Amino acid sequence: MLKEKLAHKKIVLASASPRRQQFLKDLDVDFEIRLKPVEEIYPDELKGSGIALFLAELKAKAFEDSLVENEILITGDTIVCIDDQALGKPKDKAEATAMLQNLSGRTHEVISSVCLKSIEKTRAFHDKTTVYFKELSAEEIEYYINNHQPFDKAGAYGIQEWIGQIGVQKIEGSYFTVMGMPVHLLYDELLQF
């Protein structure tokens, strides 16, 4: 259905994330990948969804001068929030360990944002999901980091991986939002864009 609606558009995904690429494939959308390096720095006063939206729009701005007629650019960002603090991607094993220790036995929010951009308009939106983690042992955290290398994931974990299977007790909201893209919202927004 979406494929027919977008037949005269070229979809450009600005993400190296295999998960985001798979979501578009699963929606049966033809797309190409274009990447530009963007330094993910945001103003200190931003919190939660403000950070995720700012970063998705920042990534889209990098393509402002290169989009052409009938192209729709998709950018996205995901952050994990706990205690009013945003957790991005860990820089190393020590930071990943600290993040997972902080999330252990607690509840946190995952916020995924998307920015759609064409030469005519820009539309940004986000979704939040609450995640409940069991108490993780030091051995479980170390095993996960050593075997799954979660350095490309906000909050140092992927819900679809081993740690999600053994550690996530429940979620309130979209599973796909935790994986990095609110697919249900993206579908609706692309239909209207």
The two tokens of residue 12 are 């450009």
Three-class DSSP category at 32: strand
Determine whether 77 is an active site residue.
yes
DSSP β-ladder status, 71-82 and 85-87:
antiparallel
Collect all residues with Cβ–Cβ distance below 8 Å to 87 and sequence separation of at least 6. Answer: 79, 80, 81, 99, 102, 154, 155, 156
Task: Given the residues 77, 83, 84, 188, select the one marked as catalytic.
Answer: 77
**Residues with catalytic function:** 77
